[in-house]
Structures are given as C-alpha cells and as structure tokens.
Amino acid sequence: MHGLSAPPPGGRRIVERCDLLGRPPYSDEAGSLFRPYLGSGYRATLDRIAAWMALADMSVHVDAVGNVVGRYEGAVPDAPALLLGSHVDSVRNGGRYDGMLGVVLGIEVVACFAREGRRFPFALEVIGFGDEEGSRFPAAMLTSRTVAGTRDGFDLSMTDREGISLSEALSEFGLDLATIDEARMTRERVLAYVEAHIEQGPVLEAEGHAVGVVSAIAAQYRYLVTMHGVAGHAGTIAMRLRHDALAAAAEAIAMVERIGRGGPDDLVATVGRLEVAPGAANVVPGDVVFSIDVRAGTNAQRDAAAKAIRHELRQIADRRGIGLEVELQQDLSATPCDGVLTQLMEQAVADVTGAPARVLVSGAGHDAMVMAHLAPVSMLFVRCEKGISHNPAEAVTAADVEIALRAMMDFVRLFERRC
C-alpha cells in the first residue's frame, strides 16, 4: 500500500484498489465477485478499507450496523461533516466499481487534502455503506436507512437463503443489537452527503463525457409476486384443464415488458427473479415466484405504470384460475438532488473539464435516496464502458476516474466557499 509520502497516484490508484477488492479474500466466491452484507468477504473488505482510511489521516470505526466510517477532522475539532461515500456490498457475480468506486474515490479525496495539510471549517467523512444492494436479505439500503434515521424495512427477523436471520448475522459479525440506533447520524452532524458512482447506463459514453452530474434519482417500486396454480403430471392433464402457474407468469412477464415499453424513456419495468416449483420437466408448475421492478423519473409515472401492472396481473390470474399474491417490498420516491449542491457540482465539473457538465437523471437507486432524509445530497456519475453494471464486464478508465477525483476535490473547495 502507498503511504502519505508517496506521490499522489489519483485515478490510477483508485482503479487498482477497486480491482484488488474484486477478488478473494474480498469476495465470497473464488471465480467471481460476490460480497454480501456481513459475509467473510465483507469483513476482509472493511479491514482493508479501514487501513486505507488510516493512511489518509482519518480516524476509523465500524458503526453498529457494519458501515465503515473514516473521519478527517476539520480546522475546528468536532465540526459537522461533509459526508462522502457509497456502498461496499455487491450483487452476485457483480462488477468491481459499482458502489466501491465511490468509497475508494472518497478516501483518495481525503488523502490528497491530507497530503497538502489542508483542513476545512468542516470535517470530511467517508462512509462505506454495508447493504445497498439487498443481495443477502430481502430488503435494500438497510444500513443507510439506519444512518439516516428512517429504519423502514429494517426487520431483524428477515432471513437470507440459508435461513440466517438479520439479527443472527449482526451478532455473528460481532455487532451489538442493543446499540443499533447509535449508528444514526443527526442533521447537526452532517452538512451534506455526496456520492460518486458509475453511471450504470450508456449516456455519458455515447455523448463523450467522462463524468456527469445527477439532478434526481428515479422513483422505484419493487414487488414480489407469487402465483399459485395446481401441479400435476405433464402427460395426463389436458391443456384446457390446467392451472399452470408458469404459463400465467410468462404472460405476466410479457405484460410487464409491454407496459414498460409503452411509457416515456425514463419508465422501465423489469422481471429479474423467477423461481418455479416443483421445477421438474414432467410436472405442470404449481407455484411461481417472481420480482417486478418499476422505475420512472417521477412518482406519478411510476405509480401509473405500477397500477396498470397490478390490474393486469389480477386479470391474468382470474382468467387462468390462478391464486395471486403481490407483496410490495420496496417503495422509493423520486429524489431530487439539492439544487445548490447540483450547481456546485456542475461548476466543479466545468472547472475540471473546461466544458458544461452533462446533467442527467439516475434510473438506478442509490444510498443518496435514503440520505436525502438526513441532509442535502449530490451525486457525480463516472462513465462506464458500454453502460454495463452489475456484471463482471463493468469497466472504467483511470483517466475518467482522475477527472472525477479532481471534480470532487474542486467541489469540496467550492462547498467551503459557499459555507
């Protein structure tokens, strides 16, 4: 690892660190990246991030829900903080930069200022949130919800695929359930939250921009749908007498795509999970469980699409004689980024690139959506190759990340002047 006396590697070091964290022991799987919340790879990752934070002259702690937090004191001790960060967990078979880029970039921002001996009238804090993806437990953004003080969806009895409850996982990790609320930050402590993230889309690459400024984060609903049919022998039940749950689900999936395609460009509807029971080649499927993810730039567009989807789900189920359960698992309203911070980020990007910033809406959800309940938020997007994310093919360039680093540093200076 590089000490503070080494020349600042900037974007190159950020990319190298993200690459390092993309393999064991920082992944739970040898052949791909999978870093679920509170797993063995997660623990190793927190240890490595904490070491990098310490090298950047930050005091470090892991909070009561497993977020790693580094603090670079301001000119006045105990001053409120400008919070930089993103998440450290990953989806299964994920990419190396989703979430992690924002955390490591935040550390590099602080390292550069520490190398200069620069202090601000506020502290700089970098946070690596533990569970943004929801890849282990059936809820996302659990730890940012705790920090922001919302705690909605934080059910200690929820279980992962191995039947381990959230409370058991926290305890096994060495966290005290009685102190969970101590992870909450107060409005007086946090001046703003700023998140850098790969775009997860193709706009910046298509238009030739290294970075972009996020004006808002799309509204999102996530449903879990269960269709109950009647299982039976595939060779003896006439087609007209079947109550095939998978055939009903197939019709429903096509309907979800049709409604998603029928709206504005920022409306998207996705079925990303499908489970069939009993799952035998010679048995008519009796039960099917699938997810529906609906997102749009406004709550109104999302709500209209979701209403249409729920209505047609009921029609399909009734027509086919299928039982239907629709559970709302996630409800995230559209989140506008703070206007003043957006202007500062636009200016920072223009200062660094010499061109007006590209401003765009994020279709993906981020911890910033939750943190907006606590403090003003801003986001900076970094171009990713072909817009690919949640995939091992995820890629960024050191040159683009260097631009993002310089823009974030300029943002901090502009924020100081504004304060």
197 labeled binding residue: yes
How far apart (Å, rounded) are the C-alpha atoms in residues 192 and 415?
A: 10
- Do 375 and 232 lie in a common domain? no
Asked if residues 414 and 346 have their Cβ atoms less than 8 Å apart, the reply is: no
How far apart (Å, rounded) are the C-alpha atoms in residues 178 and 329?
A: 26
Check pLDDT > 50 for residue 6: no
- Per-residue model confidence as pLDDT tens digits over 310-359: 999 999 999 999 999 999 988 888 999 999 999 999 999 999 999 999 99
- Do 231 and 149 lie in a common domain? no
**Opening angle at CA 213, ends 211 and 214, nearest 5:** 130
373 labeled binding residue: no
87 labeled binding residue: yes
- Per-residue model confidence as pLDDT tens digits over 120-143: 999 999 999 999 999 999 888 999
- Do 46 and 90 lie in a common domain? yes
Check pLDDT > 80 for residue 7: no
- Do 134 and 239 lie in a common domain? no
Q: How many CB atoms lie within 10 A of CB 43?
A: 17
pLDDT value of residue 92: 94
| Single residue among 306, 332, 358 that ends a domain in this structure | 332
- Do 202 and 346 lie in a common domain? yes
- Do 148 and 186 lie in a common domain? yes
How far apart (Å, rounded) are the C-alpha atoms in residues 340 and 338?
A: 6
- Do 112 and 172 lie in a common domain? yes
Residue 19: left (phi > 0), alpha (psi -120 to 50), or beta? alpha
Check pLDDT > 70 for residue 299: yes
Expressed as residue numbers, the domain containing 308 is 219-332
pLDDT value of residue 151: 78
- Per-residue model confidence as pLDDT tens digits over 197-248: 999 999 999 999 999 999 999 999 999 999 999 999 999 999 999 999 999 9
The alpha carbon torsion through 124, 130, 134, 139 (nearest 10 deg) reads -90
98 labeled binding residue: yes
416 labeled binding residue: no
The dihedrals phi and psi of 39, each to the nearest 5 degrees, come to: -85, 180
- CA 261 and chain centroid, separation: 24
Token pair, residue 97, equals 């930069």
Q: How many CB atoms lie within 10 A of CB 260?
A: 20
The b-or-e profile of 212-228 (16+ CB within 10 A means b, else e) is bbbbbbbbbbbbbbbbb
133 labeled binding residue: yes
Please indicate, yes or no, whether the overall pTM of this predicted structure exceeds 0.75: yes
| Single residue among 311, 332, 353 that ends a domain in this structure | 332
160 labeled binding residue: no
Question: What percentage of residues in the chain have a pLDDT greater than 90?
Answer: 91
Report DSSP state, residue 277.
E
- Do 81 and 193 lie in a common domain? yes
- Do 235 and 189 lie in a common domain? no
- Do 148 and 61 lie in a common domain? yes
188 labeled binding residue: no
Residue indicated by tokens 């299928």: 322
Token pair, residue 326, equals 């629709």
Strand partners, 62: 68
Q: Is residue 114 part of a domain?
A: yes
Rounded to a whole number, what is the distance in angstroms from the first to the last CA of the chain? Answer: 35
Asked if residues 265 and 277 have their Cβ atoms less than 8 Å apart, the reply is: no
